[in-house]
Amino acid sequence: MRLSVSTVFTASIAWLSTCIPSPAVTTDRRCVFLASPQNTEWIHRAGNISGSSQHCARTECCMGYFQLENQKPTPVLLSCSIIQTNCPNSSCHASVLHQNYIRCLCSSDFCNVNITFNQQAKQAEYTKPPYSSDLLSTKVLIIPAGALILFLSLVMALKWKILLQRCRPVTPSNPHDVLEVSSIDLDKHLELQKVVACGHFASVWQGTFQGSSVALKVFPTALRQEFAKEKDVYKLPLMMHSGIVRFLGHGKIGNDFVIVLELATQGSLNAFLSKTVCDWGCTLKLAQTLSQGLAYLHTDLKMNGVYKPAVAHCDLSSSNVLVRADGSCALCDFGCSTVLQWQRVQGYSIIVENRMQMGTLQYMSPEILEGCVNLSSGRCLLQGDVYSLGLLLWEMLMLCSDLSTGSPVPEHVLPYETELGRNPSLEALLTFVSEKRKRPIIPHLWARVSQGLLLQELLEDCWDHDADARLTAECAANRLAYLSLDV
């Protein structure tokens, strides 16, 4: 995403974090382009696409992924490099095989169309165990499967059971068990199967661990700090709730760092909404479980001598929420999160200020877009999450068939996509959201149903321009909990 910021806003947004992709820098590199329709939107961020070629916007590197079929490489993804990286070779060479995929990076125009593969290295790779991670050690990720994280359903048995009680779970009999099982010897029990998604810092694999299906978020060696940051959030005491993706452990595969998580068959909320029209019961369950998970995340909790601090997610979007097989939501991707601590005088404050990171532009609250966040207090970050929650609830409700009675259900769109396009710029969002104080349109059809006005009021109270006037996540969850199943 290209963020061209005018001089007027330079001082106010200088603190925006690395969770926002780096500004696009136009280059002269041109690469052959080939991608499946579901991947085109993601790859489009790497540069402008024109037919079978792409003009790179971020790096001087072309990339190619090929599948070996009868010893012959067949291209499956050709494009400009997704991220900034080094590519010293002017032609497309590969010496690493992972299962039946090979890849290359090269630094000349259209160099990614043909690949030269080292056959001797290929034979050596076949002798490696199935969890070999040579491919993962690169910063280029295989075939992105859409925006941020896609998982499949949990089947691994745990030592404890968690029962959802509004915003508070029943904790394990020994809360310290969470820490005792967190370090896993992955090399002995893990098998990587296929890449199912990729994000800004890591790739997500489907795999098996001790015979059970799991999701594995794999960070290259160079991104050890990002791995540690997210792992530390998952490992917080009492971070066990049905509205938060289940953390199963962490470890290493070769030189790469891995977080082991449950699988969610329906993938991200973004992917789910793109292919599913829900009735009121389905929509209400999505909304309730999402809000309950956020309310628990925001809660500081003491139990059995163990303390869980409040956590601000800081990157709530439909790509960072998972949908399980039973239609419930689970928060994931805590790479931008900030851990808060409660102080009697000041309220919530930021434990480590260098963890201040903001996420997806179109889900950012007005005060965060403007750079007016008070860094001495963490409450503003919690209320920024509530603004994002309001947009997510709108995103769900727009696809509810029972709220569109008598009219066709619209196609899934992201917040502000109708008004500002799929990838709005910071300037456009500042003008629309902050200066004009506009929000996504709430259809008049909602007024025809019994709970339509309650839903409109809920959204408006979540995305209020004044952060102090917004609901808390717990209050939003309580309002949703009392909505009737009869729309």
For 303-321, the three-class secondary structure string (H helix, E strand, C coil) is ECCEEECCEECCCCCCCCE
For residue 76, how many C-alpha atoms fall within 13 Å in the half-sphere facing its CB?
A: 17
Query: Whole-angstrom Cα distance, residue 452 to residue 397?
Result: 10
Looking at residue 183, its pLDDT comes to 54
Would you state the structure tokens that stand for residue 86, as one six-digit string?
């080094």
Burial 266-296 (b: 16+ CB within 10 A, else e): bbbbbbbbbeebbebebbbbbbbbbbbbbbb
Q: Residues in the chain, how many?
A: 487
Would you state the structure tokens that stand for residue 263, as one six-digit string?
């699988």
Cβ atoms of 159 and 172 closer than 8 Å: yes
In the numeric block, the tokens 């295989």 are attached to 142
Mind spelling out the 3-state secondary structure of 56-104? ECCCCCEEEEEEEECCEEEEEEEEECCCCCCCCCCCCEECCCECCEEEE
In the numeric block, the tokens 């941020």 are attached to 148
Looking at residue 455, its pLDDT comes to 96
Looking at residue 41, its pLDDT comes to 60
Dihedral of CA atoms 267, 268, 271, 272 in degrees, nearest 10, equals: 70
Query: Whole-angstrom Cα distance, residue 2 to residue 418?
Result: 19
Query: Whole-angstrom Cα distance, residue 255 to residue 338?
Result: 27
Query: Whole-angstrom Cα distance, residue 36 to residue 39?
Result: 5
List of residues 6+ apart from 200 with CB closer than 8 A? 19, 21, 83, 148, 335
* Helix or strand (DSSP H, E) at 420: helix 417-420
Cβ atoms of 203 and 141 closer than 8 Å: yes
Looking at residue 40, its pLDDT comes to 64
From 76, 201, 71, select the one nearest 143 (Cα to Cα).
76
Its pTM stands at: 0.64
3-state helix, strand, coil in the chain (%, to 5): 30, 25, 45
* Helix or strand (DSSP H, E) at 457: helix 452-462
Mind spelling out the 3-state secondary structure of 162-225? CCEECCEECCCCCCCHHHHCCECCHHHHEEEEEEEEECCCCEEEEEEECCEEEEEEEECHHHHH
In 10 A of CB 93, how many CB atoms?
15
CA distances from 111 to 32, 59, 339, 412, 457 (A): 8, 14, 45, 37, 55
Active-site residue numbers? 315
**Segment 165-170 long-range contacts (CB within 8 Å, at least 24 positions apart):** 166/292, 166/295, 166/477, 166/478, 166/481, 167/292, 167/295, 167/296, 167/299, 167/474, 167/477, 168/296, 168/299, 168/301, 169/238, 169/240, 169/241, 169/242, 169/296
In DSSP terms, which residues pair with 165 in a beta bridge?
168
Query: Whole-angstrom Cα distance, residue 52 to residue 75?
Result: 13
* Helix or strand (DSSP H, E) at 39: helix 37-43
Looking at residue 184, its pLDDT comes to 59
Looking at residue 165, its pLDDT comes to 30
Cβ atoms of 60 and 29 closer than 8 Å: yes
Dihedral of CA atoms 208, 211, 214, 220 in degrees, nearest 10, equals: -40
In DSSP terms, which residues pair with 117 in a beta bridge?
94
* Helix or strand (DSSP H, E) at 479: helix 473-481
Looking at residue 58, its pLDDT comes to 73
DSSP classification of residue 373: -
Q: Where are the alpha helices (DSSP H) in 206-304?
A: 224-234, 269-275, 280-298
For residue 61, how many C-alpha atoms fall within 13 Å in the half-sphere facing its CB?
A: 19
List of residues 6+ apart from 68 with CB closer than 8 A? 74, 97, 100, 101, 102
The alpha carbon of 163 is separated from its chain's Cα centroid by a whole number of angstroms, namely 25
Query: Whole-angstrom Cα distance, residue 161 to residue 172?
Result: 7
Query: Whole-angstrom Cα distance, residue 458 to residue 33?
Result: 44
| pLDDT tens digit at each of 487 positions of the chain | 333 333 322 333 233 333 434 444 457 889 988 887 656 666 777 788 888 888 888 788 888 888 887 778 888 888 888 766 778 888 998 866 666 778 888 999 889 888 888 765 444 333 333 333 333 333 333 334 333 333 333 323 333 233 223 223 333 333 333 333 345 556 566 777 778 777 778 888 888 877 788 888 999 988 999 999 999 999 999 999 999 999 988 988 888 899 999 988 888 999 999 999 999 999 999 999 999 999 999 999 988 889 999 999 999 999 999 999 999 999 999 988 999 976 554 566 554 443 344 678 999 999 999 887 765 667 889 999 999 999 999 999 999 999 987 788 999 999 999 999 988 999 999 999 999 999 999 999 898 888 899 999 999 999 999 999 999 999 999 999 999 887 6
